[in-house]
Amino acid sequence: MAFEIRKSFCSICSRGCGMDVWVKDDQVIKIEPSNFQNGGQICVKGYAYKDYIFREDRIKTPVRRVGERGSGQWEPISWEEAYEEIAGKLLGLREQYGADSVMFYTGYSKWYRPVYHRFIHSFGTLNYGTESSTCHQSYRMGSELLFGTLTRPDMANSDLFIGWAYNPFYNGNYQNLSLEDFREKGGKVLVIDPRVTPAAKFADIVLRPDSGTDGALANFFGNYLIQQGKTDSEYITAYVHGFSEYKKYVKKFTLEKTAQITNIPEKQLLEAAELIAASPRFSVQVSGAAIPHHTNGMQNVRAILALTAITGNFDREGGILPVEYSREAFNTKVLWDQFVDETRPLSEDGGGYQNSSAWHHQNPDFNWEGRKLCRPKIGSSRFPVWSEIVDECQSMDLTRQILEETPYPIKAVFALGMNRRMFIDNEKLMGALKKLDFFVDVDLFWTDAAKVADIVLPACSSFERSELITAGSFIRYVEPAIKPLYQSKSDVDIISELAEQMKLDDKILRSGYEGIVKYALRRVGVTLDSLKASPGPIRIPGKMPYFPGRNLADGLRTPTGKIELYSETIAKFKESHGLEPLPVYDPPLKRAGKKKYPFILTAGGRIPTEFHSRYQNVKSAKFLRPYPAADLNPEDAEVLGIRQDDPIVITTDTGSIHVRANLTHMAKKGIVFMYQSYENADVNRIIDWDHLDPYSGFPGYRTVRCSIRKEEQP
């Protein structure tokens, strides 16, 4: 049989880069970039995707635990046996303890989430949690609290682009092209990051604040712009709520004080502030991970985005634009949200996401009659702002709720890809999982979480399944490049078939993936058959580009209908939870402990060949860093008597890990950078489980006090 080139895509990160897969006898021979969606290139992780899907630790068949949890004793079972046992256990727990006694979780990838979310609602609970409890959603919260929508930079039309913890060369393939084009056209660039990344070489100015001090820096810029008369007073009067309170607050962030907080020289601070003030149109891109990953992270996001509000750079050309378009232009997110809402239960306390201004704006005529009542989702009482803005439970409160059984017990977890390493102090998570009455994990590989499950089901990769993909005004349906390996199934097939086994009152969900896709496309003007017949993406009929200014004209999805520097949503929880409606800066670290732990541990910085823990067992991705290592400034290393590749011990109040030293000036003095997802050096294990942002519940991965010492060899 001759080679056949089949169109597919990579699912390692959320970018979904297109791939041409060379197949012979249903075997993947090689991979090349496709021109759709990714500019004709793929990253180093994409090129290693073949090795990824053929990892030796692929789960090959459904199995049932027969020994103690974690003992590694399993017996193969059929899919029918697995479905029958899972359905019986989950329905039995629902009958005995209520639907909320089951928590449903999902990690990567994200394509099936609307279907899974609807499944959970049809089961009768709001306890839907995802890895976004530590990624992106805190940034979304900051953006929606200000603007009622997620935003994106209109870099191409800006005078100045501010990249805040911006590293498109390691994270998000081909995004670097827009930066390179912008720079070639003469645009100014300000990069802000304590770590030196490849983006820095494109910058006119680089600022290196201490980790977690970004909110103070942003408030200084806000104060400077106000003092220099560089705000847009007409815009503020028409569209901004809380400016007078904001102006009064940021006045305290003087040049001298901000230099002390951020550890940036005053001269550099002033130079950057002058550049912003001299740029009428500026856009900002804020990392959805690095900036929120502090105990003050969500407020830092608000402080940064507030700069666009006071200068008239939200919903204006060359500033930042809304990501979610109005319904009149076809928006797949709106349709999928409606798909999820069709079986939504109502929280018995009336709170949560269905109480938010954004949700009511999208669902003004929603009918609650006959809806099931359920208990508030996990994390609601502890993180009420998260609960109202994000349509998920806060998974960082899962461990506590399982162990403490308050406000109600969690008896089971059904997970599609649970990665213990995203949880801080995760030995506690593993103990909590072992306490459950029932635990199911669906995954491609034998992860630590899968090893303590009662039933494990094998999922397939993106090469082995179909998926409906939208990108801008285009839509496509990708069919499998190869047959599912071993006995694996796609996540949606598992969800749909389990819904059928459980006889959930949801005919659409039980109809299978193609039936679900047809239902989702019913108002789009594109059929599934036409997508299957097309060799490439199809433009969505009537899909129009967004015109800047439309959101402002229509009124924003905030309580006041304006940009809220003073958040009326947060104000509801000021007295009960001590939360601040203004973008107030709180230090990310307590003063106590600095003498014992003089360094700042920043966990989570990306390296080019890794993405979370997904490439830990892919040999071809180990050429840059074959062993766990921490980035340490050479000046710090000299004082400690540490040389390149020396074994070192990083210690916090929670524990220690053993790694090697990688000496680099990319690391700022006083800060040690550690990649998160090493199998044998899990840095998140030594971060206290209560080191969380009170607004978002996000872990403070990137600001932890630590000590470093050279490990003595026997």
> What pLDDT score does 326 carry?
45
**CB of 457 closer than 8 Å to CB of 498:** no
- pLDDT of 324: 66
* 368: confidence class by pLDDT, cuts 50, 70, 90: confident
- In sequence order, the β-bridge partners of residue 105 are 129, 415
pLDDT digit string (tens) for 133-168?
A: 999 999 999 999 999 999 999 999 999 999 999 888
Residue 610 has pLDDT above 70, yes or no: yes
Q: What is the mean pLDDT of residues 582-599?
A: 93
Residue 479 identity: E
Question: Number of C-alpha atoms within 13 angstroms, CB side, residue 252?
Answer: 9
pLDDT for position 685:
95
d(CA 3, CA 27): 10
- Tell me the percentage of the chain whose pLDDT exceeds 70: 96
User: Which parts of 240-296 fold into alpha helices (H)?
Assistant: 243-250, 255-262, 266-277
Q: What is the mean pLDDT of residues 667-676?
A: 93
Q: Is pLDDT larger for residue 709 or for residue 547?
A: 709
319-359 confidence digits (pLDDT tens):
999 986 544 444 667 788 889 999 999 999 888 888 888 88
Averaged pLDDT, 640-646: 96
% the chain with pLDDT above 90: 71
How confident is the model at residue 329, as a pLDDT?
44
Rounded mean pLDDT, 616-628: 75
Burial class (CB in 10 A: 0-12, 13-18, 19+), 3: exposed
Instruction: Specify the pLDDT at position 451.
Output: 96
Contact between 688 and 589 under an 8 Å Cβ cutoff? The reply is: no
Q: What pLDDT is stored for residue 172 in this prediction?
A: 63
- Give residue 1's pLDDT: 58
Which among 99, 83, 100 is positioned nearest to 91, based on CA atoms? 99
Write the DSSP assignment of 469-528 as a string of letters: EEETTEEEEEPPSSPPSTT-B-HHHHHHHHHHHHT-S-HHHHT-HHHHHHHHTTTTT--H
pLDDT at 179: 86
Asked if residue 384 has a cis previous peptide bond (ω within 30° of 0), the answer is no
How far, in Å, CA of 191 to CA of 214, rounded? 12
pLDDT of residue 663: 97
Q: Where are the beta strands (DSSP E) in 136-192?
A: 151-153, 160-164, 188-192
Mean pLDDT of 408-417: 97
With beta carbons less than 8 A apart as the criterion, state whether 568 and 559 touch: yes
533 CB burial (10 A radius; 0-12, 13-18, 19+): exposed
Rounded CA gap, 453 and 59, in Å?
13
DSSP 3-state of 695? coil
> Residue 582: how many CB atoms within 10 A of its CB?
22
Task: Give the dihedral sign, CA 348/352/357/362.
Answer: negative
What is the structure's pLDDT at 105?
98
pLDDT at 444 over 60: yes
| Contact between residue 513 and residue 500 where contact means Cβ atoms under 8 Å apart | no
The structure tokens listed for 430 are 């593993």
Task: Identify the weakest region by mean pLDDT among 2-16, 64-78, 465-479.
Answer: 2-16
Question: Is residue 170 over pLDDT 90?
Answer: no
Place of tokens 């299957």: 532
How far is the C-alpha of 485 from the C-alpha of 45, rounded, in Å?
21
pLDDT for the residue numbered 20: 86
Q: How many residues does the chain have?
A: 714
Average confidence score pLDDT of the chain? 91
Three-state secondary-structure class, residue 90: helix
Assess whether pLDDT exceeds 90 at residue 21.
no
Q: What is the pLDDT of residues 51-87, one digit of tens each?
A: 888 888 999 999 999 999 988 999 999 999 999 999 9
